[in-house]
Each structure stands twice: as structure tokens, then as C-alpha cells.
A = this chain, B = another copy of it.
Amino acid sequence: MEPVDSRLCESFQSAVELVGKRWTGAIVTVLRDGPMRYTRLATAVPGVSERLLSERLRELETFGIVTRRVLPGPPVGVEYELTESGRELGEAMDPIGVWARRWMERRVPVER
């Protein structure tokens, strides 16, 4: 029997930990509609604080999932956009969303 490839596990693990941070999935989902100003992002992602939104965006930028662009204005602003990697990540998250809607929303505790 083949054990699970631990290198594969690690990259899967890093990806899923990144996506699993609160708000990260929502940020990527919102940006799938196209580039968005920071101020609009803050209202499009319900309930996120400014601090956490900035933190998550910085992290996504570090991972090459979003790019940040300063807009000359007026009004001066900052815009975020998914990279190719980010767009592919958005698509890769879809089946988990479908699964969750199918199996988590109607979930009732299993009898032990």
C-alpha cells in the first residue's frame, strides 16, 4: 500500500490553510467579478474589519493571488485584482462550496 505523498499533503495543506482563514474565501470570491477598490471591497465582504481586510489582502498579495494598484484619482484609491493564480484558485474553491451547500447546510448531528 502506498502511503499518502507527504510533499503533496504539504502543498495541499498550505493551500487549504490559506483559503480557510476567515474572509480569504470571501475576498477571492468578490474579486472574481473583476478589479475592485479597497473601499468597495470593505462593503462587499460583510462583517470584515478594516484591519483584517488589509491583513488578508497583504497575505494574498504575498502569495501572488492578488495584485494591488494605486489609482491616481480623483479620488485617489487602491484597487485589487486577482492574478491568474487567483482566478484559478477561485475556480478551485467552487466544488468545496457546492459540497458545503449540499452537505453542511442540511447537516444534522449523526447519532453515535
A residues contacting B by CB (< 8 A) are 1-4, 6-9, 11-17, 19-20, 22, 25-26, 29-30, 40, 43-47, 61-64, 85, 88-89, 91-105, 107, 109-110, 112
Contact = CB atoms under 8 A, between A and B. Distances in A.
Leading 7 A-B pairs by shortest Cβ distance: A15-B100, A20-B20, A92-B95, A11-B100, A92-B99, A16-B20, A11-B104
16 contacts: A1-B44, A2-B44, A4-B29, A6-B46, A8-B97, A9-B25, A11-B100, A13-B22, A15-B97, A15-B103, A16-B93, A63-B107, A64-B107, A64-B110, A92-B95, A93-B96
Contact of A101 (B11, B22, B89): B11
Contacts of A6: 46-47
